[in-house]
Chains A and B, each alone.
Chain A
């Protein structure tokens, strides 16, 4: 079941996206942010909070910024302090938190600072590489579900309740569990600490919560003899920090979109673009599959009219991901089944678009999102819409299949909602497993025409974005009908231009995949 796509258009669109990404990358590579530097601090082992609950990583980076040394990076400041005081970075952070020292006031010895920074960085790299190997070994030992992987969310607010629901979902056939974050976490400029039992519409992403859910999924995976993947969100104002926590706690997938925070959370675009780069480098190194957020465009814009903006953004997300060292196999590009069910041939159009995405990004584990916008509270109709979505997904061999809930638009899923969704998906996918091998599209028919139309419009859009640059395109509201100013939004005060002697000891070895099998040793 293949569409005859115009390969010249595909190549031209990809080339335009590569030039757009290379252009914005010049800006990204010349800047850092408080979140990036807090990530370095965390990777150096700086964990925990002070008596007011403020993370030590924040206190250290605030101290560095106050001393005017943010532009050189936290690694050198911490390396310098560790060398001068003969303390670990964690002990240095405790001294800062206690108000006993200020890092920028210590005499700066660049060579010693760099050498110590490298030592701690390479410790962290080896730890992350070990967690990655652990995943590979578990996958080899336990195996995994068929693709599309069945992905469900848990969102109770209480990590222990989440565990119960996640275990039940795994038993019912889920391959992937995502712990939805509490509403509002994306706008916190710090990562909360410890196990949490209160949240709204989701559960706080904390290192301890990651650990609790990881342990639970490993246990149930052993019992079911199927590796269960864990997902959280590297998004918001702490993108790279959460990516680092995910790497350390062996998460398997992270939502990570270059533009989502800008468009949907009004985070400053300079901040997000710089943050996404380092967060993706970490995801790439840790073997974490990223999930991009193009599906969200269709929740604000019309799914038929705006389908090409999804494709254009996928091209850009792909190229930016490549610049961060992510191979295609780790790029879960997002798209969604959001066409109005009252429209004639809605499934035909969805099928054409899903198959188009499959062929344009053949190695990417595409993340396919269920109907949400046209779910009404009529759970019975919603359940049949989800069946159509399930069928489209299995026919077009999507990689990551986010299950639709019959109670979408009513409440965060009940235990039984998830069970019914899994039952539905397993039935439909079992029933139609080989169907796509047995049917073909009519050459020049409606499906091919639709794919060609979307591809053509995406190419035009990319050409326009290339002309004005990505930032200007976002300012003009090209994506999702949302306009954002490059100087507006949250988090701009955390962006700094890198000094000539700026140093982040993780970037080069992570891009070179050092300590990984097949990478530089």
Chain B
């Protein structure tokens, strides 16, 4: 039976993004002020795992690093059909950059036992580095394919996947165990169901802190981060109205020019 790990991140609810405030000192996004939800692309990673579970039978572990409220998203993943949740939570983990995050997740995956496939969303809606999945692969010495939009062959230990590249795609053969980061095009995540929520009652969420994982304080969180955020600021957007004058042709020309200048066309 396949052992699948899905890395999920609790992110501020995207629809409330305009309510986010940037901490001027830490240059981070305080995550406890607005509701946390599953990083939208991670839902596609979980769906991929659940489809494999249905097809071949699999044990699906969902893994998240975050503050204690992130446990709620793991419970939701269990309600959607995952078998087990692991929450990595410790104040020492806070301020982690992509590398420290990948390091902590990779150590948790090792501690949890051998995994055949590790699914991640290609990026988070808040950090959006796209590095965590590939860095986990490096740390675990596994192959990785990023931005997978279709799994063409998933039987046995040699898979064939279709992955996005700029202006096209590539077909990649990979040998398990491997890390796969997915795009939104891969599948349509299933909805929560009432009976799924009830089934999650008996599923386990394990909580590990730094000590439980046996990690040195300097290897995790801000201390373990080789990069830092130099600055962070909200994007300003302004409405601007321009009434187009002239003949129809002139208006159309001007309109096309505006769209071109804005990079829309």
Mutual binders A and B: no
